[in-house]
Amino acid sequence: MAIVGRPNVGKSTLCNRLTRTRRSITDPTPGVTRDPVESLWELRDVPLLLVDTGGVTTLTESLARLISDKAYAEIERADAVVLLLDVEEVSPEDHEIIRRLRPFFDKLILAVNKVDNSAREQEAWNLLELGFADLVPISAAHGLGIDDLEIAVWELL
């Protein structure tokens, strides 16, 4: 399973939450995860290779490089792809990533992160207007919505 998203949406935090490790380095500075980071995630006793695609380099680089070649290869070989958005801001980069992920929509789950409280939950649901049939509001930092995300991934395996 690959986790994709622009810098700072919480990909590393989610990886750590799922695998209960601190292997992916989280940092408030965008672009800290430079290369895909692989870890083992056991979902209901099924071992999965979890890939924090990172590799999206820095905000100053061109939109065309937002999904690096390495990240793209991980997306192609994944059984499930989690696109992570930040409920606080959906930027032009997010729109570009969504556009580039369109060929993979049949194995894509939209997860909206930083939904730390119920006020933010309505904002998360509003993001269905981006053209998705469903989404999963989560808070990777606080461990909210993780069960629902696990169910969504399980259904794709």
Kindly tell me which residue out of 6, 12, 84, 149 binds Mg ion, with binding defined by CB under 5 A. Answer: 12
Nearby residues of 68 by Cβ (< 8 Å), 6 or more positions away: 53, 55, 56, 57
CA–CA separation, 134 and 70 (whole Å):
27
On whether the CB atoms of residues 81 and 96 are closer than 8 A, the answer is no
Residue 12 interacts with ligand GDP (CB under 6 A)? yes
Residue 53 interacts with Mg ion (CB under 5 A)? no
Would you say 107 is a known binding-site residue? no
What is the spatial order of strands in the sheet that 46-52 belongs to?
37-43, 46-52, 2-4, 81-86, 108-113, 136-137
Residue 35 interacts with ligand GDP (CB under 6 A)? no
Shortest distance, CB of residue 22 to ligand GDP, whole angstroms? Answer: 11
Among positions 87-116, residues that touch ligand GDP (CB under 6 A) are 113-114, 116
The residue (of 68 and 113) whose beta carbon lies closer to ligand GDP is: 113
On whether the CB atoms of residues 57 and 31 are closer than 8 A, the answer is yes
Residue 26 interacts with ligand GDP (CB under 6 A)? yes
On whether the CB atoms of residues 142 and 13 are closer than 8 A, the answer is no
Specify binding-site residues for GTP: 5-12, 52-56, 113-116
Q: Name the residues that contact Mg ion, by CB under 5 A.
A: 11-12, 33
Q: Name the residues that contact ligand GDP, by CB under 6 A.
A: 5, 7-13, 26-28, 32-33, 113-114, 116, 139-142
